[in-house]
Amino acid sequence: MTSAEIATYFGAAAWLPQIATWLYRKFVHPVAMIIPDKYAEVGFTPLGPIFNLKMAFSAERKGLIVDGFELRLKHSDGDTHTLRWAGFSETFSEITDNAGNRQVVSRAQTPIALKIGTESLIEKLVRFQEPNYHKTDRPVVLALFAHLNFLKQSIPKDYVAQTLASKEPSRFQRSANQVELGEC
């Protein structure tokens, strides 16, 4: 074997790490692990039905990006609601002084995407809301409150009775029955 052949083999072998990297990226898929907290917050707020759950996220093999997260809740009577992530909250530190006063350093985020790496565990409070509420009921509720405020300014003494006698509460009731949020 000549020195030129040996140099050719070394040159070809120099491509092996790059080819191995290409094959790894092509065939190895990430595995996400989501660890939920034992307790969740469930309720109905001015933002509609909510479900807040603290979760820990981890990835194995390689990192990944999550661009959407949905949660399906089923009531005992069979009513099903699909909630979509609407916010994150992450606590970075908690400081307690000598008097026992606590201060929490945290950050709230609007969810666009979540990058999960393999090197550490990410803990976040994930807030879920029902998108159908924002499309159908929220405009009706806002119209009801606008009408209530208008009557409060124009008829300060009897604005509640006037509001209840108007057509806006019946619109709200029809909208709630269509979306069936009262069954939550």
Q: For 113-145, what is each residue's pLDDT tens digit?
A: 999 988 888 999 999 998 887 777 767 777 777
The whole-number average pLDDT for the span 101-108 is 88
DSSP 62-111: S-EEE---EEEEE-TTS-EEEEEEEEEEEEEEEEE-TT--EEEEEEEE--
User: Which residue is listed with tokens 């879920």?
Assistant: 128
Q: For 12-43, what is each residue's pLDDT tens digit?
A: 888 888 888 888 888 888 889 999 999 999 88
pTM (2 d.p.): 0.62
- Dist. CA 181–CA 184, nearest whole Å: 6
Backbone angles phi, psi at 40, to 5 degrees: -130, 160
Q: For 58-100, what is each residue's pLDDT tens digit?
A: 999 888 999 988 989 888 888 888 899 999 998 888 888 888 8
